[in-house]
Structure 1
Amino acid sequence: MLQVPFIRDNKEDIIARLAKRNIDATQMINDAIALDEDRKALQTLLDNTKAESNALSKEIGNLYKSGEAQKATILKEKTTQLKESTKNYEQELNDKVEALTTLLYKIPNVPHASVPKGNSDADNEEIFNEGEIPTLHKDAQPHWELAKKYDIIDFELGNKITGAGFPVYKGKGARLQRALIAYFLDKNTAAGYTEYQLPHLVNEASCYGTGQLPDKEGQMYHDATDDLYLIPTAEVPGTNVFRDVLLNETDLPIGITGYTPCFRREAGSYGAHVRGLNRLHQFDKVEIIRVEHPDNSYKAFEGMIEHVKDILRELKLPFRILKLCGGDTGFPAALTYDFEVFSTAQDRWLEISSVSNFETYQANRLKLRFKNSEGKNELCHTLNGSSLALPRVLAGILENYQTEDGIKIPDVLIPYTNFDSIS
C-alpha cells in the first residue's frame, strides 16, 4: 500500500496518475491525509497526557515521602482522571489507525509514468513482436479437438470429477505437462533463481500482504473453517516468504522460483475464447519472484522480460509483448508487461505470462525492508512474473506444432518428455 508521507508529499501527482486507472482518487487521498492528521493529533494528546500522568506520579511519591499526604491525595484524583483520558485517547487512536489502514488497503498502486491511459485490454500497447507464425495444414484443429483426438486431455472427465475448468491430463499429455514444469524450473534456476516448494493454501495476512485482499475478495477459493485461501498464484506464498523481514543491503537482490497449481474462481464467459485450456479454475504455473534494491528494480524488470523471451525463443513459439494500460493493470502493480503466444489454429493471441514491478507497494504491506548503507531501514521493491503459465503454452504447442501425422514436440522439451511426437 502507499505510504502516508508519500501521499502527503505527492498528492496531486498521485491523483493524476491514478486517473490512468479510470479512478477519481481525490476523496480517498484527502481522507487518508485527514485521518493521518487526526492520528498525529491524538498521538500528541496521548503522549502529553501520559507524560503529565508520569510527572504527577513522581510528585505524589515525593509528597508522601515528605508527609504531605493530603496534597498527594488531591493529585491522585487528577491522575485518575488522566488515566481515564489516556484510555479514551488510546481507543480513539486505535480507531483512527484502523480506519486509515482500511482506507489505504483500498487505494491501488500508482501506475508508473510510462503506463498508457486506457479502459481495458483493447487499449494495451504492443511493444514487441517476434517469431514466425506457422502455416498449418487445411484440416488443422484447435487444441480441445486435438486433446480429444489423441486422448491427452479429458475435459469431460474433469467436469465429472469436479466441474468445468478442472481438466484431467492423461498419458503423453500428463508427461508433457511435467516436462514443461521441469524445463521452466531448470531455466529459472540456471538464471540464478532459488527453487522453493511452497504451500498451496495461505492465510489472510498473506493475501493482504501481496494485495489479493481486499481487491480480490470473493474471487479466491476460501475455506471458512480454517480461514485459509487456495492460492491464485505462487506469487502469494512466494512473496510472503519475506513478510516481516529486515534484510541487509548486501542480501539484495534475491530471486526465487517455484511451481504450484493455481486456483481461481473467475467464472468468465462462454465461447471459443474460453474453451479448453483458454480459461481454467485450476492450472499449473511456474513463477519467478524478485526482491530488489529500489535503485535496481527496473533493470531487474527488464532482465525478467529478457528471461521470458529466451524461454519462448527456445520453444519456438511466435509471441508478442504488451504494455498494459492503466485500466488493465493489476491493483498492486506499478507496471506490467503481458506476453502472448499466437495460436494459429484459433487465429488469436493467448496470454501466457505477466511480469510486474510493484515497487514498494507490496513491501509496505509486508513490512519487507532492508538496512541501507547509512544504517536506515528502507522498503524493498518486489517483482514477479509467470515463467510460465502452462495451459496456454500447452495450447500453443499443440496447435502450432500439429501436422497431418500428429503433434511434434519442441526440440528443447524432448530430453524431458523422452518422446518427440504425439500421434
Structure 2
Amino acid sequence: MIELNRIRTDRATVIASLEKRGLVNVATQVEVISTLDMERRATQSRLDDLSAMLNKLSKEIGEQLHKQVDAAVLHAKKQEISSLKEAFKQLSKELKEYESSLLEKLYQLPNHPHATVPVGESAAENEIFYETPMLPSIGQDNLAHWDLIKKYDLVDFELGNKVTGAGFPLYKGKGARLQRALINFFLDNALQAGYVEIQPPIVVNEASAYATGQLPDKEGQMYHIPGEGLYLIPTAEVPITNIYRDCIIPETSLPIKHAGYTPCFRREAGSWGAHVRGLNRLHQFDKVELVQICHPDHSYAQLEEMLAYVRGLIEQLELPYRVLKLCSGDLGFCAAMTYDIEVYSVAQDKWLEVSSISNFETFQSNRLSLRYKDKNRKSHLLHTLNGSALALPRILAALLELNQTTAAIRIPKVLQDYTKFDQIN
C-alpha cells in the first residue's frame, strides 16, 4: 500500500509514477484519496476537541459535586455532557467510515515503479538483461516434455484429474523422486547462502492475504475456503512475510532471510490452449521461495544479490536461460522492480518463466505495519523482497527436454546425489 504521507506531500509525483504503469484515471483516484484523507483528519480533529470538552466538563462537575452548587446549573452541565457524548458517538462512527473508505481506495492503488524501471505497456517491452549466448537446438527425434513424461511414466495427468481435477498433476516413480530431489537441492543451496528455512502453513487468513497484497488484487486467482475465511496460498511469500506482521525489528537483526518450500495453488481462470499443455501451467505446483526483510538503504543491493543467487541455481542445473527486467506496464501489483528469469524449452522453442525476483519497497510493510527503529528510536517502514528459487514444473519440463537422448533422460550431475540415479530409462 502506498504511504499516505507521500500522497499528502507530493501528489503530482505519485500520479506521474503510477501513470507509467499505463493506468487510467489515476489522478481521479488519488484526488478521491486526498479528499477522504482531509475529511478523515477534520473529523479526527473535531473528535479531539469534543474529547477535550467532555473531559473539562466532567472535571467541573466532579469539583462542583463537592460544593453546594445550584442544582439547575449542575443539571444543565449534565445535559451538555449527554449531548456532547451523542455527538462524539456520531463522529466516531463517521471516522470509522472515512477510515474504511480510505483504506479501500488505498488498496486499489498499485506500487510505484522504481525510477530505473523501463517504461512500457506490456511484456513485449521488457528489457532483456541477460541471455545465454548459444541456445541448444532440437533434434528431429526430440520430444516435448509432455511426451517424455508419458514415455517414462513420470507424471499422470489423468489420475490427477480423476482425484482432483485438471491442473493437479500426480507425480510418480522417478518423476516424484526427481521432484523431491529438486526441492532438496534448492533448499540446501538456500541454507548455504544464509537463508533460514521455514515450513509455513499452506492456508492463510484474510488479514495475511491483504497484508502481502494478494487481496483484493488477486482474489479471483486464489482458492477460497468458504465459511472459514481462509485461502490456499499462491506462494510461500504470503505466510512467511506475515510472520512479521505488526512487528518492530531491531536494526541489528537486518536483513532477515528466509527460504521455504510449499505447494502453491492458483486458479488460473480462463487458461486454455497449447501454452498450458503439460507442466506449463498448473493449479497446484511446488516451489521454493525466498523472502528478505531489509533496511531501506540496502534493499536494492539485496535484490541484485538475490538475482545472482537464483541465476547460480539455474547455471548449476546447466539450463539455458535469460533475465528480463520488467517494464512498468508488466510489473506485478505490489512490485517496485522485478526481474523475471526464464529457461529455454528446447522442444517447445519458447521461454518459460521460472522465477520472479521483486523488491516491494514499503508497499507490503505499510500493510503489514512492519518497522524498525533507528538510533534515535524513530520508527521507519522496512523493505520486503521475494523471489522464486525455484518454481518446479517448468524447471522439470526444461530439464527433461534438454537432457533427453534416444534411450534415456540424463540427470544433471548436481542432482544425482539427491535422486540416487543418473538417468531415467
| SS of alignment partner, residue 402 of structure 1 | coil
Which runs of 5 or more residues in structure 2 are unaligned?
none
AA at the equivalent of 1:18: L
1:27 aligns with 28
For residues 357-410 of structure 1, the C-alpha deviation after alignment (integer angstroms, 9 at most, x for no partner) is: 000000000111111111011111000000000000000000011111211111
Question: Do the aligned partners of 2:221 and 2:269 also contact (CA within 8 Å) in 1?
Answer: no
Paired letter, 1:5: N
Partner of 2:65: 64
Amino acid at match of 1:255: K
User: What TM-score do the two structures reach when normalised by structure 2?
Assistant: 0.98
How far apart, in 2, do the equivalents of 1:183 and 1:404 lie? 27
* Alpha-carbon distance between aligned partners in 1 of 2:155 and 2:411, rounded to the nearest angstrom: 16
Contact 1:334 1:358 in 2 (8 A): yes
2:100 paired residue among 82, 88, 98: 98
Read off the aligned partner of 2:410 and give its amino acid letter: K
Q: 1:201 corresponds to which letter in structure 2?
A: V
Indicate the residue corresponding to 1:193 in structure 2: 195
**1:146-182: per-residue Cα shift (whole Å, max 9, x none)?**
0000111111221222111111111110000000000
Identity of aligned residues (%): 55
User: 2-side partners of 1:125 and 1:47: how far apart?
Assistant: 52
**TM value normalised by structure 1:** 0.98
Corresponding residue for 1:272? 274
SS at match of 1:218: helix
**Matching residue of 1:143:** 145
Distance in 1 between residues matched to 2:29 and 2:352, nearest whole Å? 36
Question: 8 Å contact 1:369–1:377 — kept in the other structure?
Answer: yes
Q: Name the SS of the counterpart of 1:62 in structure 2.
A: helix
Listed as ranges, the matches of 1:64-143 within 5 Å are 64-68=65-69, 69-130=71-132, 132-143=134-145
| Off by >6 Å, runs of 4+ in structure 1 | none
Distance 1:30 1:274 in 2: 41
The amino acid across from 1:416 in the alignment is: Y
When structure 1 is superposed on structure 2, of 155-164 and 300-309 the one drifting more is 155-164
Q: 1:412 to 1:285 in 2, by over 3 A?
A: same
Alpha-carbon distance, 1:62 to partner = 2.0
For residue 251 of structure 1, report the CA deviation from its aligned partner. Answer: 1.1
Give per-residue Cα distances to partners, 1:95-134, cap 9 Å, x unaligned: 1111111111111111111222222222211111126422
- Superposed, 1:297-308 pairs within 5 Å as 297-308=299-310
**Structure 2 partner of 1:43:** 44
Matches of residues 209-288 of structure 1 in structure 2 within 5 Å? 209-288=211-290
**Aligned counterpart, 1:18:** 18
Q: Which amino acid in the other structure matches residue 36 of structure 2? A: L
Give the superposition deviation at 1:8.
1.4
Give the residue type in structure 2 aligned to 1:36.
D
Which has the higher mean CA deviation after the structures are superposed, 58-67 or 336-345? 58-67
In structure 1, the partner of 2:4 is 4
CA RMSD of aligned residues (A): 1.1
Which of 346, 367, 377 is residue 369 of structure 2 equivalent to? 367
Q: 2-side partners of 1:169 and 1:55: how far apart?
A: 72
Is this contact kept in 2: 1:255–1:288, CA < 8 A?
yes
Aligned to 1:313: 315
Question: What is the SS of the residue equivalent to 1:137?
Answer: coil
Runs (5+) with no aligned partner, structure 1: none
Contact 1:20-1:116 at 8 Å conserved across structures: no
